[in-house]
Amino acid sequence: MSVSDINKSNNLKIGFIADGVKKFSKSDIFHDSSFALMLATQKLDTRILLAESNTLKIINNKVFATFDEVNVKQEENSHILVKCTTEFPLDDLDIIFARKDPPVNEDFISYVLMLTHVVEGNASKRKPLIINNPFGLLKANEKMYALNFPSLIPPTIVTSRKAEIIDFLSEHVEVVAKPLFDKGGEEVFYIDKGSKTSHTIIEVVTKHESRTVIVQKYIPEIINGDKRIILLNGNPIGSVLRIPRTGEFRANMNKGASVKACTLSKRDLEICETVKPSLQKEGLYFTGIDVIGNFLTEINVTSPTGLQEIQRLSGTHPADEIISWAVNFVK
């Protein structure tokens, strides 16, 4: 169902908790998935409400935030119009897109914990629908959640110990090490057993054994790209292939990766079907999984991106699908 098929007299309140939208650059407004969802919402006769995560607070046991009612358009320097600003409880909303980006730090945890209070206070109701469920966000670390599906992932360890990483490197020759709580390819390192700098890189990524990291066998198929597959309630609704730029192994778009259209293989669909029950159980309704070759590498749950690229490359409208699904959920 498309957004245009929805009854436009619904008068829903749809809120977005997303930081920095007012300051978006031209590249942001043509890339950001939160903005794509806001554009899709605007097709409805409903209020679009936008809050910064640091405005959340609890007063008299209710969670409040300061919301701007906005109109949006894909136009540089005038992409957002604030109509009015109001503080009210999150209970008053029908749908909340919780879209704060990592890093998962003290501020992030505080924001998610306040959202759990909204869920607990409305346990007997279908509203507000929070995408994604904050209890699911607490459980699903984006780097580690894939460990729940051992048959889908490459050889992996999670540790802070240099000696253990060296042993793993000796076995697999080439590995990739990532911090657990960051995003966008930040502080992600390729480590080659034969390199003279391998021990130094391990010390840097673990901060001399003071930080736990995830280390995975390097998947050489990354040169052909990393598939970002968007799942809605566990079902694939679009995908895009992100190809690292020359001399780079990270396929993040903010690291210069190019994008192209792709189709899903039998293995991709098997991965989607395997993770689906867990995502549904945890209320992780809108996710982006990353697949390299035949391996699942990450399950992105905080603020998955790729919607605008998928629309441009495939002609489909995944943001519209997500909004339609959410509206029908709360009816």
pLDDT, tens only, 8-55: 546 899 999 999 999 999 999 999 999 999 999 999 988 999 999 999
User: Which amino acid is it at 194?
Assistant: G
Residue-wise pLDDT for 120-163, tens only, equals 877 767 779 999 999 999 999 999 999 999 999 999 999 999 99
Residue-wise pLDDT for 199-219, tens only, equals 999 999 999 999 999 999 999
Is residue 298 part of the annotated active site? The answer reads yes
82 assigned to some structural domain: yes
Is residue 290 part of the annotated active site? The answer reads yes
- Among 19, 68, 290, 309, the active-site one is 290
Residue-wise pLDDT for 264-318, tens only, equals 999 999 999 999 999 999 999 999 999 999 999 999 999 999 999 999 999 999 9
The pLDDT value recorded for residue 232 is: 98
SS3 state of residue 287: strand
**Are residues 250 and 271 located together in one domain of the fold?**
yes
What residue numbers bound the domain in which 41 lies? 3-137+320-330
Is residue 228 part of the annotated active site? The answer reads yes
308 assigned to some structural domain: no
**Are residues 237 and 270 located together in one domain of the fold?**
yes
The pLDDT value recorded for residue 9 is: 43
Average pLDDT over residues 74-91: 95
pTM of the model: 0.95
Residue 232, CA distances (Å) to 77, 207, 266 in order: 32, 37, 19
User: Which amino acid is it at 234?
Assistant: G
φ, ψ for residue 298, nearest 5 deg: -150, 155
Residue-wise pLDDT for 83-99, tens only, equals 999 999 999 999 999 99
- Among 13, 143, 183, 227, the active-site one is 143
Long-range contacts of 264-268 (CB under 8 A, 24+ apart): 264/227, 264/229, 264/236, 264/239, 267/291, 267/294, 268/227, 268/229, 268/236, 268/239
Average pLDDT over residues 231-248: 96
268 assigned to some structural domain: yes
**Are residues 126 and 7 located together in one domain of the fold?**
yes
- Among 142, 268, 282, 298, the active-site one is 298
Question: Into how many domains does the chain fold?
Answer: 3
- What is the spatial distance between Cα 321 and Cα 14, in angstroms, rounded to a whole number? 15
- Among 132, 282, 300, 320, the active-site one is 300
The pLDDT value recorded for residue 256 is: 87
**Are residues 52 and 7 located together in one domain of the fold?**
yes
- Among 226, 250, 320, 321, the active-site one is 250
- Among 13, 47, 100, 178, the active-site one is 178
CATH number for 61:
3.40.50.20
Average pLDDT over residues 61-82: 96
**Are residues 133 and 17 located together in one domain of the fold?**
yes
209 assigned to some structural domain: yes
187 assigned to some structural domain: yes
211 assigned to some structural domain: yes
**Are residues 249 and 234 located together in one domain of the fold?**
yes
The pLDDT value recorded for residue 254 is: 85
Which helix (H) or strand (E) segment holds residue 201: the answer is helix 198-205
Is residue 300 part of the annotated active site? The answer reads yes
CATH number for 247:
3.30.470.20
The pLDDT value recorded for residue 45 is: 83
64 assigned to some structural domain: yes
